Amino acid sequence: MNLCTAITLAIVANTALAQFNYSFPDCANGPLKSTVVCDTSKSPATRARALIQMFTDEELTQNTDNVSPGVPRLGVPSYQWWSEALHGVAGSPGVSFASSGEFSSATSFPQPIVLGAAFDLDLIKAVATVISTEARAFNNAGRAGLDFFTPNINPFKDPRWGRGQETPGEDAFHVSQYVFNLIEGLQGGIDPRPYFKVAADCKHFAAYDLDSWEGIDRFHFDAKVTLQDLSEYYLPPFQSCVRDAKVASVMCSYNSVNGIPSCANSYLLQNILRDFWGFDDDRWVVSDCDAINNIFSTHNFTSTFAEAVADALKAGTDVDCGTTYSTNLPAALNQSLITRDDLERALTRQYTSLMRLGYFDPPSSQPFRQLAWTDVNTPDAQALAHRAAIEGLVLLKNDGFLPISPKGKKLAIIGPYLNATTNMQGNYFGTAPFIVTPFQGAVDAGFQVQSSPGTTINGTSDAGFQAAITIAQAADVIVFAGGIDNTIERESRDRLTVAWTGNQLDLIQRLSALGKPVIVVQFGGGQLDDTVLLSNDAVRAIIWAGYPGQSGGTAIFDIITGIASPAGRLTTTQYPADFIDQVGMTDMSLRPSSVNPGRTYKWYSGTPVLEFGHGLHFTSFRFSWQKQPATQYNIQRLIRAARSDDTLDLATFDTFQVRIQNTGKRTSDYVALMFLSGNGGPTPRPNKSLVSFARAHDIKAGSSTSLDLKVTLGSVARADERGDLWLFSGSYRLILDTGDGVLTHNFVLTGTDTRIVQWPQDPSA
């Protein structure tokens, strides 16, 4: 079994992991005192270089793995680079939870797929700030490292991908905005000086969205991707993370890209990552776990392990999550496949990052040392987790039945998720301080509740149906809590279907025949084809809950009873079930063809069951332009107006002011999604593209608010076949909200077509 897979299975099972013995170097009394290494007046890079030059060749090679033994003779302790914090401090080799008492839990937020559905960037930054605070507290107690292998920012292109739940969704622009704010919260700012709060890691670089499907796994897969698709879809989130948010580290992926394993791919790791995006030498690249081993063992890219580690190290992979480096780098050095300079460069990057975390500072000046157990699971953190769950829930269907009062009502809650606990956390989770199940949420809301699972998620028998039907017959309202099996939708496994399982649909159908109103609460990171439920008149409402975290049960019934109003939006397309028969997961192309219906809302040529951005409310709104937009823009004037210090694709195209009036009877948030469609450019364009979004909070009945929706030149531009971004003249349309929109505006882009970004070409191609 692959190392990462084995550890991940342990994480998923929430198996206790042994505590790593974290300690800081002693700069007051240890061997390094009075050296440049401990001189905080020097730059982190200068201090790190001085340290690495003291290492012997053997010490260099042995400190290239995620478990670094350190250098005892220099007072450099061992260090575990692999900690996790995807949606809260999480069980992992570098994190340990106490069995009880202090540090026995950490705030468990909803999965990123739910956080993304909130379309609330302030929320994302706030969540990340809490996570980094709790992570530092854990580190101060010796229970976590300072480097966290999060976030997963591969766009969720195929609904079958088991790890799609770890991402914010399918749209590259949305993911880019999400990760920028997440990194700011995790690291304590954009490139904070002098100290990172924690070091984040953007993964998996690049074009990784297949784990194991139809006999093809991530360890063998070669993703064939055009430069146009790399530039326009697969890599923008990484550009935002690296170039704009200044993340501390990047993880290269298991798969190959166009024939070269990602962790040995100098085009990705040098030409794009470092040369094009400016990933400098105080930042480092880590392999996915055992991906270095796979260069030789599964991709057969080299003839020996020594060649594999040499290729990876020289391409720019600095840390091996695994042991392939430490085992084989000595041979590579002896065979002159690498030099000492190659090793020093990798180690200097690692230790420069540690310097920026305060690792080599005297105890009196180490940052964030005041954070302790009292800063974990605070009331504010718990309230934020609850708010995040509410904001991320999406109302898919409502015929006017919701919200309902619990007063005097008998409720039957049925389905395999009714008592879900850790299943509501998804994967890469830690021990939550509490988890409110859907059942408990119903009880706490004030309903008279009876419950029966009725069936398992993948059951083939109706043996439990009768018990569920019996309690449903005595109820006023039926809630069915079901959806996707989390043991199938996870790392190392992809789904083979996007349809509800037959037994769940059968039970819902039988419950529907009782003449009672049915509410379906749908769990799981990906979408299921809801066609049958949407057309079933007895199913009065459908709520997508995803993996809502520790306060999931409370949030669900806050929506059902109207304590809160829904405003979340789907971040993935809900495809018809036969989508899986139209294109294989291994097809990385985005645009429709004779063998591909197109990927995501941008290019899908079929009719979705529910589209990206779908989400209903308990109220109604009226929309208008606060300021009427221009009808014509000139390309050359736009470029001249850009500030000289702007990265051109981030320069402002225009800011569109939208006025939103709540014309209904309930206070509600509203998520404004602004799309752009147009006919400019020589290559087929997307159907439409998200170019800006914002969430307005607590718009009271009868009142109005306004939102400023900034659109950048990069959002208007499109990639050509070389990956270059161009502003193309032509006719365009702004569309507020989904479908045909609730507010539109036509404009013309005039002038000469102009390239605003020149994408690096692969020198080996």
Nearest Cα to 284, choosing from 354, 338, 219?
A: 354
Q: Is 529 a catalytic residue?
A: no
3-state secondary structure at position 659: strand
Q: 279 is written with which tokens? A: 């990933």
Q: Find all residues with CB under 8 Å of 148, minimum gap 6, and list them.
A: 83, 84, 85, 135, 186, 198, 199, 200, 201
Structure token pair of residue 705: 């608010």
Residues 511 and 355 sit within 8 Å (Cβ to Cβ): no
Tokens of 103: 């540090």
Q: For residues 116 and 172, what is the distance between their CA atoms, to the nearest angstrom?
A: 12
Report d(CA 652, CA 179) in Å as an integer.
20
Q: Residue 437, SS3?
A: coil
Q: Three-state SS for 727?
A: strand
How far is residue 521 from each of residues 414, 540, 546, 547, 617, measured CA to CA in Å? 10, 11, 9, 11, 16
Among residues 727, 736, 685, the alpha carbon closest in space to that of 709 is found at 736
Tell me which DSSP letter residue 616 carries: -
Task: Please tell me which residue in 201, 211, 282, 288 is annotated as part of the active site.
Answer: 288
What are the DSSP calls for 518-560, one per residue?
A: EEEEEESSS--B-HHHHT-TTEEEEEEEES--TTHHHHHHHHH
- Here the contacts of 514-517 (C-beta below 8 Å, separation 24 or greater) are 514/469, 514/472, 514/473, 514/478, 516/472, 516/473, 516/475, 516/476, 516/477, 516/478, 517/401, 517/476, 517/477, 517/478
The string of DSSP letters for 173-240 reads: HHHHHHHHHHHHHHHTSSS-SS--SSB-EEEEETT---SEETTEETTT-EE---HHHIIIIISHHHHI
3-state secondary structure of 574: strand
CB 212 within 8 A of CB 246: no
- Count of all residues that appear for the chain in the document: 765
Ramachandran sector of residue 428 (left: φ over 0; alpha: ψ -120 to 50; beta: rest): left
How many other C-beta atoms can be found within 10 angstroms of the C-beta atom of residue 246? 22
Enumerate residues 6+ apart whose C-beta is below 8 A from 446. 406, 407, 561
CA dist list (Å): 719 to 230, 680, 681: 9, 11, 9
672 class by beta-carbon count within 10 Å (0-12 exposed, 13-18 middle, 19+ buried): buried
Q: Is 657 helix (H, G, I), strand (E, B) or coil?
A: strand
Distances (CA, A) of 639 to 517, 653, 673: 57, 9, 25
Name residue, tokens 């033994």.
Answer: 69
Q: Are 568 and 118 in contact (CB under 8 A)?
A: yes
Q: Please name which of 31, 23, 28, 79 lies closest in space to residue 51, comparing C-alpha atoms.
A: 31
Question: What are the catalytic residues?
Answer: 288
